[in-house]
Structure 1
Amino acid sequence: MNNITDNPKKLLAMQKYISLFVILLFSCTGLFAQNIYDIRNAIDFFESNRMQKGEYRHILTESDIEGSPYFNDEFIKGTIFTYQKIQYNDIPLRYNIYNDEMEFQTPNNQVLAIAAPEIVDKAVLGENTFSNIPYALGNKVKRAYFILLTEGKLSLYARPEVLYKKPKKAAAYSEPEPAKFEKRPDTYYLRLNQQAAVRIESKKDLQNFFTDHQNKMESFIKKNKIKPGKADKMMELVEYYNSL
């Protein structure tokens, strides 16, 4: 049996195959690396991110204020994912609805807010994913945290809201009222691909939102009695659109 080194043509062909395999291997490795996160722990997060105290704490945390500005009053160990593909695990987090801030607690129990929220892609707290995405506000585009309800080509988000009511002094026919935070119903936003999310408050908003599959979407909305204020109905609508 001839050794492959005795046949230059076979050797050259083998070298080409090996070279091609190596190129493909490194290419695939590069693609894979782009889709994974550099996983770090909470200490790295505390040390590597710019942090600041939440300014609202000097104004709106008096003991006589009723209600709460938080989505969850207690800190929950969660995970931060950044746009730089860094994942920080086991960080005590809570979401301040009123300030639209993601707060975290340091090992010495100091409460801070992420000073550069634009670096945050999402924060996962228990069963809830808070996505930091752009949204349309009039003719402007801003960025805020939204709770992800369902994701796809078309995604559905909920925006929790809290209203701060100033204290009222006693009047002739009314008792004084303390300052308070009042939870409001969630509002819902649709986001197509990577565009700015759009607030949906009425059936007219739905009709104006869908520029493709209009007839099918209008028929589905009417047949299934889709209401913008109902999360389950909105999820049905999104799932149907993503199936088209």
Structure 2
Amino acid sequence: MKRFFFLLLLSLLLQPAAWSQQVVNMSLDDFYREFKKHQYNENVGEVEEVNGSPWDKKEFIPGEIVTTSSQRYSGIPLRLNIYNNQIEFRNEEGKPFVIGVPELIDHIMIGDEKYVYAPYTIANRIEKGYFMVLAEGKALLLQKKNVTLLPAEPAQAYKDPVPARFKRTDSDYYLRILPAEAKRVRNKKELAAILGDYPAELDEFLRKNKTRFNKEAEITALIKLYNSLSE
């Protein structure tokens, strides 16, 4: 069992960089110092021991956090908890914590992968979550990684019990045209509805390449083309 705590970033609200849009580089020591100042020990849940993994990668990877007040904290050990829709970091003692107040974060780099916390539509409601950025420009192409928790199965005749387990499932792909929320794109019809100004070059690209909207490389190439045409 592990305990997870929130990192309270209240200091970021008190230090707006309104006078400058330049990013201020902060050290790992600065990050831990802010964490210790604003940490509060509220148990926000425990991870049950199950098979499989809720994380994108179990190991922590050096990354950086850039806040909306233009502060960059580099060299932080980070990982994505897909199931809980949270990004975790490891403190100086090696314990895992959850990054709280994600609305104060502009983006997070985990290795060479860029993540943003963004609103999106699902089942006629708006929620927020972490997405990996695949393409940037007029249209932001976002990947939502998915993990499902399968319940334990009791023993049956001639069958041993099966413990609860995490199962990685296919990713979903979303498009976001700021300032609107991200919307899932699964086919040409949804693409046209989101983009609105649908250029003829995209039709030609779709026909020529037989683009599949559930394939990362193929949909990324499509949206990169759209963004290049929109410059």
TM-score (norm: length of structure 2): 0.82
Distance 1:93 1:54, change over 3 A: farther
The verdict on how the C-alpha distance between 1:54 and 1:125 changes in structure 2, with shifts beyond 3 A counting, is: farther
Structure 1 gap ranges (5+): 1-32
Q: Residue 76 of structure 2 aligns to a residue in which SS?
A: strand
Alpha-carbon distance change, 81 to 164 in structure 1, aligned in 2, over 3 angstroms: same
Q: Where is the helix percentage greater, Structure 1 or Structure 2?
A: 1
Which moves more between the two structures, 210-219 or 119-128?
210-219
2:157 is the counterpart of 1:172: yes
User: What is the alpha-carbon distance in structure 1 between the residues aligned to residue 43 and residue 106 of structure 2?
Assistant: 20
- Residues 5-39 of structure 1: per-residue CA shift (max 9 Å, x gap): xxxxxxxxxxxxxxxxxxxxxxxxxxxx6331122
1:34 counterpart = 2:23: no
The structure with the largest alpha-carbon Rg is: 1
What is the root-mean-square deviation in Å for CA atoms of aligned residues? Answer: 2.3
Aligned ranges 1:50-199 → 2 under 5 Å = 50-51=38-39, 55-56=44-45, 58-60=46-48, 62=49, 65-199=50-184
Shift in alpha-carbon separation, 1:34–1:139, aligned structure 2, 3 A:
farther
Q: How many residues align?
A: 210
Is the contact made by 2:173 and 2:214 (CA closer than 8 Å) also made in structure 1? yes
Runs of 4+ in 1 over 6 A off after TM superposition: none
Q: Which string of whole-angstrom CA distances, capped at 9 and with x for unpartnered residues, describes residues 92-128 of structure 1?
A: 1111011011111111122110121111111111111
Is the 2:192–2:198 contact (alpha carbons within 8 Å) kept by the matching residues of 1?
no
- Cα deviation code 1:52-93 (max 9, x no counterpart): 67734x242x2xx11111111111121001111111111111
Could you tell me which of 217, 223, 227 is aligned with 1:242?
227
Return the alpha-carbon distance in structure 2 between the equivalents of residues 104 and 132 of structure 1.
16
1:228 corresponding residue in structure 2:
213
Cα distance in 2 between the residues matched to 1:208 and 1:73: 37
Q: 1:228 to 1:53 in 2, by over 3 A?
A: farther
Q: Distance in 1 between matches of 2:74 and 2:147?
A: 28
Letter in 1 for 2:85: D
Unaligned runs of 5+ in 2: 1-18
The CA distance in 2 between the partners of 1:173 and 1:205, in whole Å, is: 47
Q: Distance in 2 between matches of 1:190 and 1:164?
A: 26
Take 1:187 and 1:39, find their aligned partners in 2: how far apart are those partners? 33
Work out which structure has the larger RCO, using CA pairs closer than 8 Å and 6 or more positions apart in sequence. 2
- % identical equivalent positions: 32
Instruction: Identify if the C-alpha distance between structure 1 residues 34 and 54 changes in structure 2 by more than 3 Å, giving closer, same or farther.
Output: farther
CA contact (8 A) 2:139 2:175 kept: yes
